[in-house]
Each structure stands twice: as C-alpha cells, then as structure tokens.
Amino acid sequence: MKFSSKTFDKFENIFFEGSKNIPYENLLFSLVSVSWKYSFLDIYRCIEMLFPISYLQIFHKELKIADSLLKFSADVEKYMGWKPKEKDAVNKLINESPEEARKLLREIKKLFDGTEEGNCGDFVYKIRNSIVHFRPATQSINIEDNNWDMLIRASLYIVEYWYKQYDEQLTLR
C-alpha cells in the first residue's frame, strides 16, 4: 500500500495545519495501516464523530446551551438515545463538503456504478459496510489501489473541512 503524493501531502497538511480537535490518533493509524480498507476506516471514524454534530448544531445554538456542542451531542445520545441514521448523516456531510472531495467521490462512484448520479454518501456508506460487516447480504467490494487512494484523499478533505468548521464547538468544556 502506497499513498500518492497528493494524498500524502493532504495528510501532511492536516497534521501541520488541521483543527486541534481532529482525532489525530485515527489519522496516524490510517497513515501507517498496512491495508487500504483499514486506512479508510480510521478516517471514516473521524467523520463518524461528526454525525450528531451536523444535525444538532442549529438546535444547540437556538437553545443557547452553555455546554459545548460536543457535550450536548453526547448528552442527547446518552439521555435520549437519539443518534442520526448513519447513512443520512454521511450523505448530509458529504453533500455539504468541498467540491474537491465530492469530485473525487463522484469519479470513484462512476467507476463502480457506471454513473456519477446519486448520493456519494450512499456509496461511501456501502464501502464502509463492506468492510465492517461480515454477512451474506453484504458484498465485499474490490477496489484498486489508485481508487482507494482517491477515496482516502476525499475523506481527508471532508475531515479537514468539517473539523475546521466545528473547531470551537468540538471542545468538551
């Protein structure tokens, strides 16, 4: 497994200039992984942390809650049991992500589905499920190295963008 220079540069850029609240341990595990799919999965975990944040941000602001958005999100899940549907949350974040990320994802999606149409989040979620679930109905997806590299780079764009957007709101205070 070898990252392209573009992907490696994106890792480097995030390590040097990224938000202080990015789970850097996951990015480090991704960088040193021996398998593309587990490299992707560690970055996906960074995105996964943002799922409730993306839905609760406006609610948190309107209620003028003093606790951080991160703590509020944790409390909502803990006390109410609410969490967004993962597939919907992936789509929401990706649809509102930078064009660089969406362009890479559409390119990969076109190779697999024959079309760029449809939600890229559904496609990313399908890849994630093919890695983490071992059930007869969940097919394994074979992805070539250069496509894994593009998927990982797109995911890094998403992490970089959203953690910058939510930087101040992700502290636990």
Tens-digit pLDDT profile for residues 18-51: 999 999 999 999 999 999 999 999 999 999 999 9
Instruction: Give 78's pLDDT tier (boundaries 50, 70, 90).
Output: very high
What is the distance between the alpha carbons of residues 129 and 136, in angstroms, rounded to a whole number?
A: 12
- How big is the CA angle at 43 (ends 61 and 81), to the nearest 5 degrees? 45
Residue type, 146: N
Tell me what pLDDT residue 136 has.
66
Q: 10, 160 in Cβ contact below 8 A?
A: yes
What is the number of alpha carbons within 13 Å of residue 152 lying toward its C-beta? 34
Tens-digit pLDDT profile for residues 121-154: 888 998 898 888 776 665 677 788 999 999 999 9
Tell me what pLDDT residue 170 has.
79
* CA-closest candidate to residue 132, choices 16, 42, 8: 42
The DSSP secondary-structure symbol of 123 reads H
